[in-house]
Structure 1
């Protein structure tokens, strides 16, 4: 895979069947996979109404709020949770029954989902005011760096640099993720990092 760029402006948009929102697919593996057979998927969704999450049995999910007042989440797994733009992403199992209420109007969220039998993942948000150094990720198969707001964000590693504007990201393979990366910006930026690790085959 080496280095692959993703761009929200070029993402495939899919309206929900219930009319309560739409999803923009930023990346999916393997490329061209369907919702029934993907290994992992990164997307952003506009949520316009209250409703229950779709069930994804056997998959793990992480959810973050990009814009809007946020979601009030009711699940069987935990006490009610308010997820806002200030929250770290919420990780949960795809088969968990979750009902989401809009706190105050439409929100845009960010989703990472992976097949539990084959992959593990971790999604986190960072607020970068000047620069931030990412240590070499020895146990990462795929690393995603996504600039949500601010920027342009300079990603420097292996003696080269990539520039990301808001709504753009990089997918790095295992070889590139093993190098330290410096993220720098002149405008405070909100960045999402996803580490995906493929489980060893049995």
Structure 2
């Protein structure tokens, strides 16, 4: 085995897909790319997200308490990277990257029409924002594009490379203690 710096632990543990987070800043939509997020519990559905003051979206999320977590697929990989390489404080990312902003039902932040799924969220707990830049969000509504042919998500390896979801291994019959979560 080879040793690697402990600061690179995220490269081994980042299991969730890269997501896009939309916010609304005084009526102006914005979007950012995010890799640091985690499911925290099933009910109520809580999601932890690291968004720091260096991100333009931080101020909008702090002010509105709402966002949308959009799940892009591999066909959007270049746009996902381009979104992360510019600031919504300087440009309209929706316009520049030709993203379709669709109205959400319960939050002011827009859904992204090109994404596989969109999760409308509200900030549920602010206690870890100042210390860790960790927003605890509650999912309030989910939209999935059932007609979308491309369903593979992107997983960042922390160094500019990505892995795409691959073959599904179905072991539902063995998950006897977790049947209530199967649909």
TM-score of the pair, normalised by structure 1: 0.23
Q: Which has the larger share of helix?
A: 2
